[in-house]
Amino acid sequence: MSSLVQDETTNIISNEKEDFLRVMQLSSGLILPMILKTVIELDLFELMAKAGPNAQLSAIEISSLLPTKNPEAPVMLDRILKFLASFSFLNCNVIADEQGGAKTLYSSAPICKKFLPDEDGISLASLLMLPVDKAHFDSWYHLKDAILEGGIPFIRAHGADAFEQPIKDTRFFDVFNKALHNHACMVMKRLLEVYKGFEEVKELVDVGGGHGGTLSCIVAKYPNIRAINYDIPQVVECAAPRSGVEFVRGNMFESIPKGEVMMMKWVLHDWDDDHCVTILKNCYEALPENGKLIVIELVLPETPNGDTISKIGYQFDINMLSVNTGGKERTEKEFEHLATQAGFASIKLICRADCDWVIEFYKN
C-alpha cells in the first residue's frame, strides 16, 4: 500500500511540475507569433532559402543580407534565431571559429517551406500575419467587456465589423484579402488532390468567392467548368481578372445566380444560424432539382479531444467569437440542422484535407 501511495504522490508532484511549466510557457506565449511576424516582415526565411538548400549561416551573415546599419543587429538576430531553433523552425549547429571559440550556424527546418512562396507566389505567411495585425489584435482587449456587457470585441475596438473595417482601412484591406486569397489557394490545391466532386461539373457558382482564388485553382484543373465568382460589389471591383472566372456582383442574402452546382468556402462560419439559413435557402432556390452545394469548412468534434485538428478548430471558433457577429465553427450535427432548416434533404462529409472538410448539401 505504501508503494502505491508513494507512486501516486510522485505522479501528483510530476503533474504539478508539468502544469507549472505549461503556465510558464503560456505566460510568454504571444512571443512566438510576434517573432514570426517580425521574421516574415524581414523576409528572413526567404533570405536563408536563397542561400541554398544546405546552407548554414551565422547571425552575422544573415544580418549582412538585411538593409540595416545597426551594429547591434547581428546580436539581436542571434537571439531571435536561437528562439526559433528552440521551437524547431530552424536547425542550429555550434562549430569552432577561427579564433578557437564557438559560433552558431543556422539552417532552415522543413516547416519554413510553409512560409515561402510556392510556384504560384503564395504561402501561409499572410494567414499568420492577419491575427497579429494591430487592427485584428485590438479585438482581444475588448473580449472581457463583450462578455459582461454584450457586443462583439472587434466592433467595440473599431466601431465597424470585420467586413466593414477592411473597406474603411485600405492597409488592413490588403492584409485581410491577401490572407484569405493565399489560404484559399493553398487549401484548394490540397483538397483537389483528394476531392473528385468537380469532375462532372459543368457550371459552378462560388458564393462569397472573394477575389476568385478558389475558383481559379479549380478551373486550372477543370478548365471546362463555367466558373462564376459571386460577391459584393466592393470586393469584386478590387479583384484582378482571372482566366476562366466570371465575376458577378450581388448580395448573397438577397439572391444568388442560378447554377448547376454551388460552393462556399469559409463563408458559413462568418454568420449566425439565421443568416446562414438565409444564405442556404438562396442557394437552394438557385440550384436545379438534382443540384448540390459544396461547403468547405472546419468541422468541430462533438466533444473537444485535445488533438491538433480539434485545437485548430476551437482556436478558429474563438477567433469568430472575437471578430464576427454570431460567427462560429460548427459540428456535423449543427451543419445538418442548418441544411434541414434551409430545405436541403441531407448532407454528407466527403473528405478532409488537413483541417478543412468538404461537405456536400443535397437538394433532393
| Secondary structure (3-state) at 296 | strand
Task: Specify whether the CB–CB gap between 108 and 167 falls below 8 A.
Answer: no
Compute how many other C-beta atoms are within 10 angstroms of the C-beta atom of residue 177.
19
Give the type of residue at 195: Y
- The C-alpha cell 452545394 sits at 293
**CA separation for the pair 121, 196 (Å, rounded):** 25
The number of beta carbons lying within 10 Å of the beta carbon of residue 111 is 13
HSE-CB for 79 with a 13 A CA cutoff: 6
Out of 158, 269, 275, 337, pick the active-site residue.
Answer: 269
Helix, strand, coil shares, percent, the chain, to 5: 50, 15, 30
- For residue 315, give the C-alpha cell: 482556436
Cβ neighbour number for residue 200 with a 10 Å cutoff = 10
**Does residue 183 carry a catalytic annotation?**
no
**DSSP alpha helices (H): ranges in the chain?**
2-27, 31-42, 44-50, 59-64, 73-86, 125-129, 134-137, 143-149, 153-158, 164-168, 170-194, 213-221, 233-236, 273-286, 308-323, 332-342
Give the span between the Cα atoms of 107 and 109, in whole angstroms: 7
Q: Which residues are catalytic?
A: 269
